A and B are shown apart, each in its own frame.
Chain A
């Protein structure tokens, strides 16, 4: 904490006190001993309240408070003066108390859950070291780790070689892929922009992730230039429909350039038929991106990887280890089959204050210019640590277990009255209606569905 007034006076009396404009420079203003103690005590709270309670099902998953009440419970105001350590520690406890426990075994709300101790330690390490992964000189370990992890992930996709980068989210990975495909199609767009060019069109299933929409508008392509492809009753893209839409776009004088297939849709967990989609992409010269943010982890399982059959034919893949593999948010890779530095050419700006060419080491390790970001977190490290701890076998087991649990639940749902599956799941998303007793005798008609909807 800051040096208090008494200590300031003591400094001033000393002969070698150096004052510049009223600021003392020959002593630090942070009391590191008090700071270290604060870290230790807070870590103790984190250990007890978050880590140790993570697996305890008797704890609540969430301690619900409506927004207006929560604002009052948490002393959120940021004041002119600092508060004492005891108060801060209490604040830490309150923050933890009212936060949703995503580690809890009964947190099923999103596509990620649970605690992985190794990735947690990796996060503690990177938080404490506070690196930025732009150049080798500043981040030697984490850059090499990222390279090693990307290489391994590329192997699992089935490419002999390739490229990639870790991004702050699957949405951003999808955007990168869209931009990369656009760059490949017409590299001049990087300099000239889209104004006056033929209208680029991309294709994605009607159940794709909404980041496709966000990406299309962000990139200047426009959401109406995504042609959504119909899916079958299992939520999978219908290849014949894709071909129809590609032909339609061409007839309209537009320029089809990208197909985004989804391996593991957000809601139903459906996998688009990659081989058939790849055939069409090859036929029409389109970039195939697979959004495997959710489903990519099935690649770790020899039993289940067939869900992504054909993925090696993709030009790019988005894969988020922070979902099923529990690497801790964020941990999202964009993998690219191209090995000709396309990613770098597309994104580089060669800033001379970071990417000097006259460094004393091999500057090809300064991979930060492949990114749209400047400072970047070492997200690959979390996944690496878990991989080191569990091995491929352990990660495979994790995926198999998740899908086995899903299978078990489906079996139980089918046996229980009042539970109705939407469809037979092919992954870990189990979609069902709960039909309360009051509706069980009602005929399935508009009135039934309206009531059920509530």
Chain B
């Protein structure tokens, strides 16, 4: 079943062969990718470690997921060796800066071996431009991994999959159906274009009490040695049964609906006083500030942003104590706390979205 499911996901990426495995989370999928890339470049390092290697360099956007940091530390690469690539005002990686960073790393004697592009950043929901990024990676011989843990599910929608144009050119993809496709935690796929058994070679330990070579069936089916885990949960069944029930078209409807919610809400916000979009959403992350009446028209004030940054936490506290709804907030770079509204639940209706706007107003109007 896992084989069939992974194959389906690979088809949606645009590969007619390849490899993969389900991991306990997108963070681990990203870390797997980093390690496979390292192994591919330096296969001996599995045995010898990376002591004697040149400093390995990793590239990722400023707005990528923090698992890249955690991965670099865990794998012994070191977080200082992550080169953060600038993003534009929409939160998308700037390919020219990636090129600059790679050249910088090379000039410092480091080895640029891994680039992480993000399709659907955590906060803004931005998609890095894969075609251009792939060109840069190809020029420099770097492994290109796409963290599509969040945005990967757009591949199921014929209308919106263009956000991931170029994905068929990458070396590996992390995709979490447990997010937009609602399979239930955990359900995170790590997919590779390689079909030479790289994943197996990278991870295998050939433990004799599990992977005996004298079994009575075709042992190529014993795929557990492709992972760092021993015991592993059955995460593919959730996705498989859900796919059987909804069909690709049913899942597509789910994804399209989420986009339309976002469109509806963004338009509604533009028509309402006090709601200020952080950026035009590319995906289904709708980021906005709620500006209470007391602050409206006061952008000129020196402490405007500082005061605005206190609004979201206060509204959050009120909504949680009331129990009426929950939505996240965070700062980002130089931007003070703003809300990140994400609607993926197909049970949500227009009434829920209208309620959302009304409730923010209700909770924040006297701030």
Contact = CB atoms under 8 A, between A and B. Distances in A.
Interface of A: 1-2, 18, 20-21, 23, 25-30, 32, 38, 66-67, 74, 76-83, 85, 88, 91-92, 95, 112, 127, 130-132, 137, 168-172, 175, 179, 182, 189-200, 209-211, 213-225, 266-267, 322, 329-330, 346-347, 349, 351-354, 356, 358-360, 372-377, 454
Contacts of A23: 253, 256-257, 260
Given A82-B250, A171-B230, A352-B331, 15 more contacts: A21-B259, A23-B260, A79-B247, A170-B231, A175-B74, A189-B76, A193-B72, A215-B228, A217-B45, A220-B75, A330-B24, A353-B330, A360-B313, A374-B65, A377-B24
A195 B56 contact: yes
B103 interface: no
B76 A372 contact: no
A175 B76 CA distance: 12
Given A214-B203, A223-B47, A353-B340, A191 B347 contact: no
B209 A267 contact: yes
B78 interface: yes
A263 to B, nearest CB: 16
B228 A171 contact: yes
Interface string B101-140: 0000000000000000000001100000000000000000
Contacts of A76: 1, 4, 240
Interface stretch (B162-170, B178-186, B276-284): B178-186
B324 interface: no
Contact of B247 (A74, A81, A190): A81
B255 to A, nearest CB: 10
Contacts of A189: 73, 76, 78
B263 to A, nearest CB: 6
A197 B178 CA distance: 40
A46 B338 CA distance: 45
Nearest to A76: B4
A313 to B, nearest CB: 26
B318 to A, nearest CB: 9
B8 interface: yes
B100 interface: no
Interface stretch (B13-21, B84-92, B294-302, B348-356): B348-356
A30 B346 contact: yes
Contacts, number: 274
A374 B25 contact: yes
Contacts of B66: 349, 351, 374
A353 B25 contact: no
Interface in B260-307: 260-261, 263-264
A372 B27 contact: yes
| A contact face: mostly helix, strand, loop, or mixed | loop
Nearest to B258: A23
Contacts of A375: 25-27, 178, 185-186
Nearest to B48: A222
A29 B186 contact: no
Contacts of A329: 231, 233
Contacts of B323: none
Contacts of A219: 74-76
Given A28-B347, A28-B348, A356-B329, A199 B230 contact: no
A32 B217 CA distance: 43
Contacts of B26: 374-375
Contact of A169 (B231, B240, B353): B231
B197 interface: no
A30 B347 contact: yes
Closest 6 CB pairs of A and B: A193-B78, A220-B76, A222-B49, A168-B24, A81-B247, A353-B330
In this complex, the member of B69, B229, B259 whose beta carbon has the largest number of chain A beta carbons within 10 angstroms is B229
Contacts of A92: 241
Nearest to A350: B66
